[in-house]
Chains A and B, each alone.
Chain A
């Protein structure tokens, strides 16, 4: 095993372990909500498990998997990981942080959910662990940038490989996002949680949280797009439809992923409506690159289907390799993301948001997006990547072939009823949706039960994935490794690096957009007469 592969797989295994624990929490929540009597079914454990589920899946699983993918991409496209000692330091920092935060959650002293809105106050270890996790990811950012800069020095004027362009986009989005988080956690929350400061303003803290919270979703999504654009066309047997346009898409994510946070705060007091409207505009702008992605990736797949002999308007679809778990994972992810994307347009709608804000709709939405478009793409990728880098064949290929479909079915059963229950007014994050039998709540109980059935299917699917990966690693004999191969573009782009490869320039433009979106409202929030809160730990 090469040092780079060892680095990549170490990150993958932390991601898989976090996923396994988070998935167990999830199935318990789904059953508890459906009123199934569990021996440990208490409100206390329910909210504790929601916190653990959110942190372990949305923050730990994603971050570690994306770090793994980043290292794999720079190693295989740029031929280098510059500063691998630093990379290991980042890995251990993030791992130790994960352990500290997980212990804090499981001890019951930090049941604040993964959004940890002050003035809910967790044990300081919860915030310290999370800070170390993010600090570890910053080391990853540094190594990624150093590798890219080193490659560019050695290849003056050359066009960077597309996958590296996409992963550097991810790094830039993460740096822009976590700047807001660092202000919230390091400046506002940590001093308050250890008692150096006794009060905190909840709306100011939320504003910095959502500065982070939306680009966070693009930190998850862009790596999935890297798989869709740069690997899947080849896996399907074709080529990438447009290399040049893909770079424009990535740059648009750098520009518009951050100045959008108020669309999570439409119902908040203390922020004037005009700023919320501005963030509505930027949020709709960021739907554009995803709509382009839908075209480009589908066109690439159509090309692949026709190369495989498909004819007619839809004949190419059946020719695609639906039994290949990487392909099927991504194809099902794309279908799911189309649904999730239109739901997102409603979430971001200035006034319509009030119909769904903090209802079960929202949990339905992000299980379609991060919970499927991103997670299922990563699952499929791992089936493809692991045999290549280790030389071990998948242990149960049939289980791997079925698992993405199980995930897809389970998630539709979970999410669609959640959307409907949300429209009927059911709130999210409740231990029980019964409200002591009041009439309005009766209508959504059958929907919650369907969601629970979906949750059980998802759990089976999750365990299949974890089992296939672990079985492959521990049971299968080592053979010859194969290279990580990327899709060729249909039309080879002419010339060297273009305007759309100037990542530094676009980052500067993104910073200007963030200043436009946030400077005045933050100045106003910080300077108005406010009454910050002391902490509460009602758990």
Chain B
């Protein structure tokens, strides 16, 4: 096929640019652990209140000091709706829904999860700046969707 010289050059440049993007993605994934949330775990959404960790959402501290926030996203609130966390420590969020799809996005961070009934979503982050963080639902969930938000208060180390 006859391809113009400049067009050939352009196609190599385009290939190079896309390759560069992909290399950046793979390198940050492998070396920096930059992955999308992809936790695979299922749970019965109709028995959350019966003997699951989601019956009593809240902060759990493991014996080794690791922090886990167990949360529920449901018509139109996150539970607990205020979470107090220390600055500078890794925190794992575990969240599920007893009803429809919801979103769990901590504004100002890269924590952004789809919350689906029947599945547990997970994200881990470390808050480096104290302050109040807004959490919003970013997946349409019904007529109260825009009222579904909560707060994370990150407190400076004592």
Given contacts A272-B40, A529-B42, contact A441 B18 (CB under 8 A): no
Min distance, Cβ A106 to any Cβ of chain B, angstroms: 16
In the assembled complex, which residues on chain B have CB atoms less than 8 Å from the CB atom of A270? 40, 42, 116, 119
In the complex, which residue of chain B has the Cβ closest to the Cβ of A298? B10
Chain A residues with CB under 8 A of B99: 119, 536, 538
- A 229-286 contacts with B by CB, 8 A: 241-242, 244-245, 248, 265-273, 276-277, 280-281, 284-285
Q: Please state if A265 and B114 are interface contacts (CB–CB under 8 Å).
A: yes
The answer to whether B138 and A269 have CB atoms under 8 Å apart is no
Any A CB within 8 A of the CB of B1: yes
Q: A244-B2, A267-B114 are in contact. Are A47 and B145 (CB under 8 A)?
A: yes
CB of A519 within 8 A of chain B?
no
With A and B bound together, what is the CA distance between A354 and B93 in angstroms? 15
Q: Provide the bound-state CA to CA distance between A283 and B117, in Å.
A: 28
The yes or no answer to A193 lying at the interface (CB within 8 A) is no
A291 within 8 A of B: yes
Do residues B21 and A530 form an inter-chain contact, with CB atoms below 8 A? no
Chain A neighbourhood of B112, CB < 8 A = 267, 354-355, 357-358
A299 on interface, CB distance cutoff 8 Å: yes
Chain B CB within 8 A of A439 CB = yes
A117 near B: Cβ within 8 Å? yes
Using a CB–CB cutoff of 8 Å, the interface residues on chain A facing chain B are 43-44, 47, 50, 111, 113, 117, 119-120, 201-203, 206, 241-242, 244-245, 248, 265-273, 276-277, 280-281, 284-285, 287-288, 291-292, 295-296, 299, 345, 349-351, 353-355, 357-359, 424-425, 427-433, 435-436, 438-441, 491, 498, 528-533, 536, 538-539
Q: Give the interface size class of chain B.
A: 35 or more
Which one of A202, A439, A531 contacts B132 once the chains associate, using CB atoms below 8 Å?
A439
- Tally A-B pairs: CB < 8 A: 218
Known contacts A268-B114, A269-B119, A354-B110; A119 and B1 CB within 8 A of each other: no
Binding site for A on B (CB under 8 A): 1-4, 6-7, 10-11, 14-15, 17-18, 21-22, 25-26, 28-29, 34-46, 75, 99-101, 103, 105, 107-108, 110-122, 132-134, 136-147, 149, 151
B107 adjacent to A424 (CB under 8 Å): yes
Check if A288 sits within 8 Å of B107, measured CB to CB: no
Closest chain-A Cβ to B75's Cβ sits at a distance in Å of 6
Chain A residues in 8 Å Cβ range of B140: 47, 50, 113, 120, 429
Q: How far is the CA of A530 from the CA of B42 in the complex (A)?
A: 6
Pairs across A and B, CB under 8 Å, 27 listed: A43-B144, A50-B140, A202-B100, A202-B101, A242-B7, A245-B7, A270-B116, A277-B26, A295-B10, A295-B11, A299-B7, A350-B29, A350-B34, A350-B35, A350-B36, A351-B36, A355-B112, A357-B138, A424-B107, A425-B107, A427-B136, A428-B138, A429-B145, A438-B149, A440-B108, A491-B2, A536-B99
